[in-house]
């Protein structure tokens, strides 16, 4: 009697969805390693803050890719679920004080609210055409943002809420110090690795979802929903479940972000600009790949955070050339960011991961 083939650890962790491109694999390894060593390899609070935001957006974008890339659902309400997760933590911590019980209760309540709201939106709206569903989600998200701004007694209104986290996550807490590296392992570092571990586990869980039989059905619905309905799948049910799962993972991302910044407000987690960033990252990284969320988030947020510094450096070198100095001024960073986005879409129409996978497939076919 034959025994089942034994899988390696990496394929098992990645749900047998390997990068399928050497360049993609190297990029993923480099990003994960860099994120893992940021507190020890790079000094200063900015590097840790950028890295923590990258990790939060990896989870947020991956949860949105479950809808857009794998199910074909265009939703503009994803920041609403992101904000629900953040408000769950901020409201619970404000009312109950700094403690793990407040964080636990806030997270559970946020997951319940996000899941139930996503369920209601899905059941009542996913039967309509895609463009109408997108408009409905945009209206619901805008209404939620307005509601959060007008309830100062609960949400802090437009000023938001600052709150305290458990003592071990506060910057003032010191666990131990590594003298050889000149690094103090304290609350900020512990908070960073809390975000790292939760994002890693959540990302692997999403990988499991999209590579399960459930995920195969979602992809079948994306390709041809009429055919999926004809062979017996209730597409509304699967789309609704996809919406609920994506919303709950977005709420986890919001909760992590609130814990990291120790503040939440409408402009922090509910702004429509965040939704635009999510869409840009999905397109840049590659829809329907999950790995695109990792590579796209890292490239986009690092460029967004450090492009001004790079332009200021280049402008300083070209200060003797008036037109060039003006063109490379740090104030023009949005122009250059837009140009980089246009070039990435032009040269990588299927996203970075999609393009590199196609190149690897073509190369293997030639060989």
225: domain CATH number?
Answer: 1.10.3470
Tell whether 91 is covered by a domain.
Answer: yes
Tell whether 345 is covered by a domain.
Answer: no
Tell me what percent of the residues of the chain surpass a pLDDT of 90.
55
What per-residue confidence (pLDDT) applies to 11? Answer: 84
What per-residue confidence (pLDDT) applies to 3? Answer: 47
- How many separate domains does the chain show? 1
Tell me what percent of the residues of the chain surpass a pLDDT of 70.
96
Least Cα distance to 117 among 90, 143, 92, 150 occurs for 143
If you average pLDDT over every residue of the chain, what do you get? 88
Average pLDDT on 72-85 reads 94
What per-residue confidence (pLDDT) applies to 2? Answer: 44
Per residue in 195-216, pLDDT (tens digit) is 999 999 999 999 999 999 999 9
Tell whether 253 is covered by a domain.
Answer: yes
What per-residue confidence (pLDDT) applies to 64? Answer: 97
Show the CA angle centred on residue 216, arms to residues 215 and 217, nearest 5°. Answer: 90
Average pLDDT on 319-336 reads 76
In the block, tokens 């992590």 appear at 256
What per-residue confidence (pLDDT) applies to 215? Answer: 92
Dist CA 135 CA 77 (whole Å): 10
| Residues shown for the chain | 367
Tokens of 70: 């794998």
What per-residue confidence (pLDDT) applies to 97? Answer: 87
Residue 212: φ, ψ to 5°:
-95, 170
The answer to whether residues 263 and 90 touch, using CB atoms and an 8 Å cutoff, is yes
Handedness of CA 164, 101, 107, 158 (dihedral sign): negative
Calculate the CA dihedral of residues 151, 154, 158, 160 and round it to 10 degrees.
-170
Per residue in 336-364, pLDDT (tens digit) is 888 888 888 788 888 899 888 888 888 87
Tell whether 137 is covered by a domain.
Answer: yes
Tell whether 360 is covered by a domain.
Answer: no
Tell whether 361 is covered by a domain.
Answer: no
Tell whether 67 is covered by a domain.
Answer: yes
Give 352 or 185, the one with higher predicted confidence.
Answer: 352
Whole domain around residue 282: which residue ranges? Answer: 44-291
Tell whether 24 is covered by a domain.
Answer: no
Dist CA 24 CA 357 (whole Å): 8
């Amino acid at each position: 009697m034959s025994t089942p083939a034994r899988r390696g650890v990496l394929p098992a962790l990645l749900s047998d969805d390997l990068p399928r491109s050497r360049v993609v694999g190297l990029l993923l390894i480099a990003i994960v390693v860099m994120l893992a060593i940021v507190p020890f390899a790079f000094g200063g609070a900015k590097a840790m803050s950028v890295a923590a935001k990258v990790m939060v957006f990896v989870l947020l974008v991956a949860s949105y890719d479950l809808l857009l890339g794998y199910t074909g659902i265009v939703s503009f309400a994803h920041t609403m679920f992101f904000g629900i997760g953040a408000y769950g933590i901020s409201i619970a911590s404000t009312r109950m004080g700094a403690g793990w019980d407040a964080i636990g209760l806030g997270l559970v309540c946020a997951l319940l609210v996000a899941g139930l709201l996503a369920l209601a939106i899905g059941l009542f709206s996913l039967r309509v055409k895609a463009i109408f569903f997108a408009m409905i989600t945009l209206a619901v998200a805008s209404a939620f943002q307005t509601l959060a701004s007008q309830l100062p007694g609960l949400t802090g209104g437009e000023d938001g809420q600052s709150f305290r986290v458990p003592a071990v996550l506060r910057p003032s807490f010191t666990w131990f110090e590594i003298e050889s590296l000149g690094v103090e392992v304290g609350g900020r570092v512990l908070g960073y690795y809390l975000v790292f571990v939760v994002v890693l586990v959540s990302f692997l869980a999403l990988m499991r979802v999209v590579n399960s039989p459930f995920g195969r059905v979602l992809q079948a619905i994306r390709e041809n929903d009429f055919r999926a309905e004809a062979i017996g799948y209730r597409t509304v049910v699967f789309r609704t479940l996809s919406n609920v799962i994506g919303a709950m993972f977005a709420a986890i991302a919001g909760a992590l972000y609130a814990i990291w910044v120790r503040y939440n407000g409408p402009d922090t987690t509910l702004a429509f600009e965040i939704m635009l960033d999510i869409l840009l990252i999905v397109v840049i990284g590659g829809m329907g790949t999950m790995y695109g969320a990792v590579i796209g988030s890292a490239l986009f947020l690092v460029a967004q955070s450090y492009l001004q510094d790079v332009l200021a450096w280049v402008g300083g070198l070209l200060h003797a050339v008036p037109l060039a100095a003006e063109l490379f001024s740090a104030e023009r960073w949005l122009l250059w960011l837009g140009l980089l986005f246009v070039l990435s879409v032009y040269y990588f129409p299927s996203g970075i991961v999609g393009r590199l996978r196609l190149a690897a497939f073509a190369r293997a076919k030639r060989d």
